[in-house]
Chain A
Amino acid sequence: MPDERMLTCMYAIVDYSAMKLNMPPLYPVIYRDIAAIVETACKERLTFDQQAAIAYGTTVEVLNEKFTLLPCRFGTFLRNEKAVLQILQQQYSVYRKKLEELRGKQEFGLKILSEKSVWKHNANDKKQWKDGKEYLLQKFHDYQAGEGRKQVAQRAVDIIHEELKKLSSMNVKNAEISGHVVFSGNYLVEKKTESFFCSKVEALQGTYPELKFLLTGPWPPYNFAAGD
């Protein structure tokens, strides 16, 4: 009789053909040459806070050093091992194909930020205006100048993205950007070309000093693990 108080927490689906796991309390649920790396967890002891999410991510990173893997999202629980095995059986070909695509590759995240001045001209904010017309004309002029700078920044971002696309196997450009962030994207890069990719980002930063680059990684391939 299954213990209703227990759940099976999934960390990742891995290629289990070459390496074996020895990381208790984690253990593999194996189906053919793939495995789900799981842990049994007591429902009453589960916590869902920032620390737990970071711990989960750290574990996935350790697994990523050993295996080609598809990271699962934090909070992925199944009723028991049987349910895990069923998922592996049903999705085997999808997972196998994805694992092949991701073999020997890691993810890098890039955010590009601009100073506020790129978007908005504030130089006249404190000026006293002679009349309403002068105020509106100046505002219109500021708006036009801001739009011009925005277009320049956008062109730069497009060039940067095109350059980095050439060095990656896959990429995703995040649509949601706001505030100072003018670009957010992720690149799947072969391990053997990682340092070249990073030096290219550094070189691009040198070319566009008015933009601030935030490169993070290598990460497990979170942005490239989901099915088509």
Chain B
Amino acid sequence: MNEIDASQNVTVLELLDRVLNKGVVIAGDITISVANIDLLYLGVKLLLCSVETMEQHKKKAAGVIGEQEDA
């Protein structure tokens, strides 16, 4: 892999790490099911981390929506 490719890969990974794991989280939003997520090649750690994060938010959102619907 040449230096430019490596640099682009690092940038893509860094971008994905941010958009998937960081930023403002809105309580009560609808986080879409991760069942269909097809995040290729990201590196096992990043992928697992992101899926875990999405799962957490999914559960949280489901809880909030459930509470809203119960109310």
Contact = CB atoms under 8 A, between A and B. Distances in A.
A76 interface: yes
A188 interface: no
Interface residues of B, number: 32
Interface residues of A, number: 37
A77 to B, nearest CB: 5
A40 interface: no
Interface in A1-20: 7, 10, 12-13
A71 interface: yes
B11 A49 contact: no
A77 B18 CA distance: 17
A70 B24 contact: yes
Contacts of B67: none
Contacts of A223: 18, 22
Contacts of A63: none
A18 B63 CA distance: 38
Given A48-B36, A57-B19, A72 B26 contact: yes
Contacts, number: 105
Contacts of B49: 176
A73 interface: yes
A31 interface: no
A78 B24 contact: no
A83 interface: yes
A50 B39 contact: yes
A12 B21 CA distance: 15
B25 interface: yes
Nearest to A48: B37
A46 interface: yes
Given A77-B32, A78-B26, A226-B22, 16 more contacts: A48-B37, A48-B38, A49-B38, A53-B39, A54-B12, A54-B15, A54-B16, A60-B19, A71-B22, A73-B24, A77-B29, A78-B30, A216-B10, A220-B18, A222-B19, A226-B24
